[in-house]
Structure 1
Amino acid sequence: MSTPLTADQFLDALRAEGATVVETGGWRTYNRNAKGPWGPVNGVMIHHTVTKGTDSTVRIVHDGYEGLPGPLCHVMIAKDGTIWTIGWGRTNHAGAGDPDVLAAVVAERSLPPDRVATVDGNAHFYGAECENLGDGSDPWPEAQLLAIEQFAAALCRAHGWTAASVIGHKEWQPGKSDPTFSMDGLRGRIAARLGHGTPRQVPPPSRPQVSLSQLIAAARSNPGMAGTPVTYAGVRTVEAALVDEGLLARTYLDGHYGTTTVSAMSAWQERCGYSGRQPGQAADGIPGRDSLTRLGAKHGFDVVD
């Protein structure tokens, strides 16, 4: 058993495994700690979401359902392999489970059948919700399986655990079926990764980079006007993403960050949940780190500076 990692320690561990991470606003202090303990932690639990679409899935696991408030996990792992931070602390993911299973996780030995649900799992496990319909037919892309492996291995490595500390919800609580892939197969992947002296290196994909500061400067260059050509290539990268989102007509994919692009970015920010007037909360079309990072995660670019 271990003291839970801090949010920063967790991020460092994820990135050391080569994971691609998107941080949601306020996740470091978003939790259910007022409702019960979190820790000592004993292992990692994997779930599937029974949802489709990354944006809607992030929203659901963040906000929760009627009768089951969020956060519903520590991270959501999308089909493209992106790991979205949701909350940190106690989260509503594990529910009650079998004390014999918990004892086996603590001892890092083979799991017994889960027969009863009498122990509070939210206090003892890190939890990942993974985007999948959960019908047994929805595929698990390799990029997503790799990210699940990275997430679990990062925590095991940080705590000095073996792959036996990683379980599925279906192995914890009677009647659950998630996740639909083989947990033995996942534990084998994690064991292989942990058996190396250093994390397995995954060649990074070739992705364009967008400078946040230069994009903000471009957005503010001609307020209230049609805009002038901007030599910074990141403008066209972002415009192309907005076109793909259906928020900007293709005719405006021309390197101008004028009022039309401002309006399109504002619409994207509203999709991300921004609508206020305060700095960092406004859907004003001036790019912010969170909304731009979310756009990049969907459309294959990275945000720098």
Structure 2
Amino acid sequence: MAYHLLSEELDVRIAELGDDYKGARFDWNGLVTQVTWRGTGLTFCGVENETPGQGSGGIGICNEFGIEGALGYEEAAVGERFSKLGIGLLEKLDEDPYFFMRQYPIQPFAVRREGDERSVTFTVEPDEVNGYAARLEKTLTVEGNRLSIAYRLTNTGSQPIETDEYVHNFLRIGSYEAGPDYVLTWGGAVEVDSPEVGNRADLKLDGERIDWTGRPDGEFYTKLTVPEVAAPYTWELRHEPSGAYVRESGDYPIDRVALWGHAAVISPEVFIRLSLQPGETTAWTRTYEFFAK
């Protein structure tokens, strides 16, 4: 059964562990499947792919650790386990490089959940393999029109941890598809990170704004360069005719950013770099603000 956080303005639906999502990519804990503006019923989240069996099962506001390499994958032999933070121990199937879209067999981590209708904390207990282990504490709190997601990661293993974390925001405001009615703004001018450019047809970059010149035909993707800021960063996705928007800010330096989507969802992605020696702890917070008339 889903878990709901409630404020005067927002109803935040959080997936039960292994229910709405049970893949080997996204963090299972505190996965926000929908945010609803209680006064009007307007929703803010969509799904990665509406075709059954396509995509990796992403939905709503879901984060991932180590998109380019899970902890201990290189050291593991075929048939052995490696660690995917926020999920569990995965089984290495062959000698092919790690691929985030692949469905590896999962031995889920043990998780404790504590909270009420305003705040909930997920504590993910570590299982060590090849010296890699980390305890993850993730707290989601709703107040007014804001949802904060606070992370605390402790390296409990004997190996250093070098990884990253980002949120794959699968956003869709109401029933409005991506197109000229949307604008995405950053805290300063953005540039395409050439030559790392995918299909970005229908995207128009103008200073700190990204506009759509038409309804996207297929997926769009681009890596972006944003101004160097220590903290906080901010981006905002606004549906201009209705005035509804989603705004994210964070209290940490940006490592890199990307933008992915298609007609049904728009996904700004902000990455943080994580480097922890054994015994070290780091913490960071993402804050979302929602608005609808």
Q: Classify the TM-score, shorter chain.
A: under 0.3
Q: Which has the larger radius of gyration?
A: 1
Structure with higher helix content: 1
TM-score scaled by length of structure 1: 0.22
Structure with higher strand content: 2
